[in-house]
Amino acid sequence: MDSRPGGLSHGLKRYSKAMRPIYLDNAASTPVAESVWKAMQPFFAQEYGNPSAKYGAGVRAAEAVERARRKVRRALAAEDHRVVFTGGGTEANNLAVLGAARHRGPGPIWIGATEHASVRVPGKVLAGEGHSVHILPLTDRGDLDQEAALAAIQPDTHVVAHMLVNNEVGTLYDIPRFFAAVRQIAPKAHLHVDCIQALGKLDLDLLQLHADSLAISGHKVHGPKGAGALIVRKDARIAPLILGGPHEDGLRAGTENIGGIVGLAEAVEQAVEHQDEFCASARACRAALEAGLRELPGFYARPSVRSVDSILSVQVPGAPGEVWQHHLEQRDIEVGIGSACQSKSGEKSPALKALGLADDETQHVLRISFSRHSRVEDAQALVNALRELAPHLAEVPA
Amino acid sequence: MREPDLLLIRFGELALKGGNRAAYEKALRQNLRKALREIADVRIQAIHARILAYPSRRGAQMARRAAEVFGVKSVSPAYTVPADADAIEALSKELLDDALLRDQRPRPLTFRVRVKRADKRFPMSSIELERRIADHVLPGHEGLEVSLKEPQLELGVEIRGKQNYVFVERLAGPGGLPVGTSGRALCLLSGGIDSPVAAYLGMKRGLHMGFITFHSFPYIGESAKRKIQDLARAVCRYQGPAQFFVVPFTEAQEAIRDQTPERYRVVLYRRMMNRIASRIAHRQSYKALLTGENLAQVASQTLKNMDLIGRTAEHLVLRPLVGFDKEEIIAVARRIGTFEISNRPELDCCTLFQPKSPVIFGHPEECAAAEAELAIEDLVERAVEGTVIERVDPFD
């Protein structure tokens, strides 16, 4: 028997810098970039002033926050908009949906069918507060059914929220066209778009999206966790969620997380600057993976109407996705899954269910997502591992 | 409110333990010292049939913690006072007023004052002082009815000369026996609701628990193991740190899957678990195994299957839940803080390769035949060799 004082877990390897696992769950999180970490560091132990203070240290801190804001504005073509720094993407989505609805009072609200919980759950809360909350219809191929949606949306609609890129299957929705049409029907509605999985993959521009606000998150693009932002039009009407000070234009009280904000801005700038290279590399990785999967019986990459190259949903045979996940983990390959085996029906992936998958099928899904560090060889290594595991797992009952 | 100056700790069943009483009391003092020291420095003193604890700080928190230590019947946070009737009166009123503000029980409450006067130099008799205090504290409290017999609320005053104190609050302890006085047992812990409750009940009867869990990576992931570790940590709140054995079980499960009839799988998993647990218990000096098994709850818990499973253990197997209904188990799990952890959605090795129709009434000969192909000794030995010993610490 092996007695280890640190409690280093069984089966869990400690990775040295030289021997990292192949990480293919970048839609969940990404490693903080060296340049981001460097930019953040001074703002913890050295530049610790409160940006609201009037003396030098406070002013320097406030300047750092404003410089970060300018960086985000530049990167996202948001010179004319407000940038509200938040404690992450979830808060940014909450602020937009709850804030816009509550500012207007009870009324019709439309939420996408495959939204992340940070939009879906606020929708449920609003329904409890007397708003009439509706789910936007999907086509049978999993795309937003614009025709049906536009026929249903009322002229007095208060809020419409939809994601640009789905976090589970990578579907790219045609939000510019949809929101332009919604604007014609419901001119006073607040139109919010969740761009958390789109940042660094597509050019984001509030006006081009015909949106009133868009949410982004730092740690999906090699920035820090706990840092996100809501880009919002200056004339948008939003009630704050966190009260107690004039910070962030009155939309988010509390002393600013300067290190996180500086890191977020650096990460956003990098993501936008290197977008083309990243997209090219993700396309190559995806092509290699799709080609490999075609050779493996029982596996298939979920087709999507239109999708980003960096997220791919793969159906696996035999054992549940989670069992495949751990077997891949044993081979130093980390991937995401659809729904966990033990999750209750209500928690099963809404995106996969919206695509018409049964509860049981949602458990047989791997999510592969690439970052700027992903290589074609990584995708090939994954295919090889799946091929080796198939005789072992493809027959295992669910 | 100021923090209490000392805690009066009463113990229950211990007093009945005749010849062993001194050893039990010593164990209780040690357990209290360990539990309370996690909070702050504390001095523990034995006096007559009670234990006094003198906290350096955070006395109120210590009182709540002491009321979770097995062997303790009740705890009263007490406040020192000079040997002076006026001062005693004033403090008594202050404590009673505060206690009544926090007491949610329906009124009227029966109440009495009880004075113990060990220092006979004090100028009033116990009864005189009781009357005087009652006359001072009662006005303004219409919800109190004086009753000398089994009152719902008692204001205690002790005059001991060097030190005099007053107390009202009485926190009920968990009873039972001091952990460790019954020996060491190894609990087979899963991610379910039952086994942590079983461990708690074992601790209550004086067992010091170690935990053993079976981990089938890569069918089951690290997060499932962490859940079980969290359960062990939660229940260790009632005993202190424990050993936590993580047994690699994949090879045994695969062998059972590939070499035995499908319907016997679950019974054979459990027979294998008992063999491995017994081997580890033997090497690590645990004197019994303890399981969360309940009669007739699932297919493997029929009398016949439990018999087949139990026979592979080389130790006494304790099954404290055998007479419990599921609702009763859940009620304890909620109270001791393990229910929410057990409810976390995670895979469990027992449900791996689950047969479509598991055997309900296993037969000894059939079972033996089912295992005939298995290299049992090799599988047990490799699992034991691969076992990782960790430590769970409730305050870590």
In chain A, the residue whose alpha carbon lies closest to the alpha carbon of B219 is: A323
Q: What is the pLDDT of residues A135-159, one digit of tens each?
A: 999 998 889 999 999 999 999 999 9
Residue in chain B closest to A2 (alpha carbons) equals B388
Q: Which residues of A360-370 are buried (b: 16+ CB within 10 A; e: fewer)?
A: ebbbbbbbbbb
Note the pLDDT of residue A131. Answer: 97
Asked about A285 being catalytic, the answer comes back as no
- The pLDDT assigned to A270 comes to 97
In chain B, whose CA is at the least distance from the CA of A344?
A: B345
* Inter-residue contact A114 to A163 (CB < 8 Å): yes
Class of domain B6-172: alpha beta
The count of structural domains within chain A is 2
Mean predicted lDDT score pLDDT of chain A: 92
ipTM of the predicted assembly exceeds 0.90: no
Helix, strand, or coil here: B121?
Answer: coil
Per the domain annotation, does A135 fall within a domain? yes
What does the block give as tokens for A39? 């930019």
- The sheet carrying B288-290 orders its strands as A2-3, B388-392, B242-248, B207-215, B183-188, B288-290, B316-318
Beta bridge partners of B156: B114, B167
Residue A85 sits in the same domain as residue A173? yes
Same domain for A228 and A279, yes or no, is no
| Residue range(s) of every CATH 3.30.2130.30 domain in chain B | 6-172
pLDDT per residue as tens digits for the range B271-301: 999 999 999 999 999 999 999 999 877 777 8
Tell me, yes or no, if A7 comes closer than 8 A to chain B by beta carbon. Answer: yes
CB contact under 8 A, B225 and A9: yes
B306 and B367 Cβ atoms separated by less than 8 Å: no
Band (pLDDT 50/70/90 cuts) for residue A214 is very high
User: Cβ–Cβ of A322/B221 closer than 8 Å?
Assistant: yes
Cβ contacts of B346 on chain A, cutoff 8 Å: 340, 342
Alpha-carbon gap, residue B349 to B253, rounded angstroms: 9
Q: How confident is the model at residue A7 (pLDDT cuts 50, 70, 90)?
A: very low
Contacts of B246 in chain A (CB under 8 A): 9-10
Where is the domain boundary, A253, A273, A293? A273
Residues of chain B in contact with residue A327, where contact means CB-CB under 8 angstroms, are: 218-219
Q: What is the percent of chain A with per-residue pLDDT over 90, rounded to a whole number?
A: 84
Distance of residue A395 Cα from the nearest chain B Cα, in angstroms? 11
Question: Do residues A248 and A310 share a domain?
Answer: no
Asked if A4 and B219 come within 8 Å (Cβ–Cβ), the reply is no
Q: What is the CATH number of the domain that holds A356?
A: 3.90.1150.10
Q: Is B262 on the interface with A (CB under 8 A)?
A: no
Q: Is residue A22 part of a domain?
A: no
Bigger pLDDT: A18 vs A310: A310
Which residues of chain B are in CATH 3.40.50.620 domains? 183-392
Distance (Å, rounded) from C-alpha B130 to C-alpha B124? 10
CA dihedral angle for residue B316, residue B318, residue B323, residue B327, rounded to 10 degrees: -150
Domain boundary residue, one of A219, A243, A273:
A273
Tens digits of residue pLDDT in B80-117: 999 999 999 999 999 999 999 988 999 899 999 999 99
A85 and A197 co-located in one domain: yes
Given A3, A9, A397, which is nearest B389 (Cβ)?
A: A3
Residue A5 lies in a domain: no
CATH code given to domain B183-392:
3.40.50.620
B357 reaches A (C-beta below 8 A): no
Amino acid at A114: T
User: Is residue A290 located within the same domain as residue A253?
Assistant: no
Instruction: Tell which of A224, A253, A273 closes a domain.
Output: A273
Give the integer Cα–Cα distance in Å for B392 and B210: 9
Q: Is A322 near chain B, with CB under 8 Å?
A: yes
What's the half-sphere exposure (Cβ side, CA atoms, 13 Å) at B313?
24
DSSP 8-state class, residue B117:
E
Residue B33, both tokens:
């010292």
Domain assignment present for A182: yes
The pLDDT score that the predictor gives to residue B118 is 87
CB contact under 8 A, B221 and A326: yes
Residue A173's pLDDT band, with cuts at 50, 70 and 90, is very high
Same domain, A119 and A57: yes
| Residue A4, domain member (yes or no) | no
Flag whether residue A2 sits within 8 Å of chain B, measured between CB atoms. Answer: yes
Same domain, A269 and A124: yes
On the question of pLDDT at A13 being above 50, the answer is: no
A1 interaction partners in chain B (CB closer than 8 Å): 245, 280, 283, 384-385, 387-389
| Residue A131 falls inside a structural domain | yes
Q: Are residues A164 and A288 in the same domain?
A: no
Per-residue pLDDT, B94: 94
A159 and A296 part of one domain: no
Angle between helices A376-393 and A321-330 in degrees, nearest 10: 120
Whether residues A105 and A216 share a domain: the answer is yes
The band of A396, judged by pLDDT with boundaries at 50, 70 and 90, is low
Domain containing residue A119: CATH number: 3.40.640.10
- Chain B positions touching A386 (Cβ under 8 A) are none
Per-residue 3-state assignment (H helix, E strand, C coil) for chain A: CEECCCCCCCCCCCCCCCCCCEEEECCCCCCCCHHHHHHHCHHHHCCCCCCCCCCHHHHHHHHHHHHHHHHHHHHCCCCCEEEEEECCHHHHHHHHHHHHHHHHCCCEEEECCCCCHHHHHHHHHHHHCCCEEEECCECCCCCECHHHHHHHCCCCCCEEEEECECCCCCEECCHHHHHHHHHHHCCCCEEEEECCCCECCECCCCCCCCCCEEEEECHHHCCCCCCEEEEEECCCCCCCCCCCCCCHHHCCCCCCCHHHHHHHHHHHHHHHHCHHHHHHHHHHHHHHHHHHHHCCCCCEECCCCCECCCEEEEECCCCCHHHHHHHHHHCCEEEEECCCCCCCHHHCCHHHHHCCCCHHHHCCEEEEECCCCCCHHHHHHHHHHHHHHHHHHCCCCC
Say which of A10, A319, A329 has its CB closest to residue B246.
A10
In a domain, A308, yes or no: yes
| C-alpha–C-alpha distance, residues B134 and B114, integer Å | 10
Task: Please give the Cα distance from A203 to B262 (Å, whole number).
Answer: 56
A336 and A294 in one domain?
Answer: yes
* Per-residue pLDDT, A12: 44
What chain A residue is nearest to B386 in terms of C-alpha separation? A1
Give the side-chain half-sphere CA count within 13 A for B63. Answer: 21
Cis status of the peptide bond prior to B218, with omega within 30 of 0: yes
Residue of A nearest to B347 (CA): A342
The answer on A212 and A285 residing in a single domain is: no
The domain containing residue A373 runs over which residues?
275-393
pLDDT at A329 over 80: yes
Residues of A in contact with B258 (CB under 8 A): none
The rounded distance, in Å, linking the Cα atoms of B78 and A43 is 48
**What is each CA distance from B312 to A365, B253, B290, in whole angstroms?**
39, 16, 14
Of B256, B394, B230, B291, nearest to A9 by C-alpha is B230
Is A398 a member of any domain?
no
Question: Which pLDDT does position A3 carry in this prediction?
Answer: 56
Regions of chain B with pLDDT less than 50? none
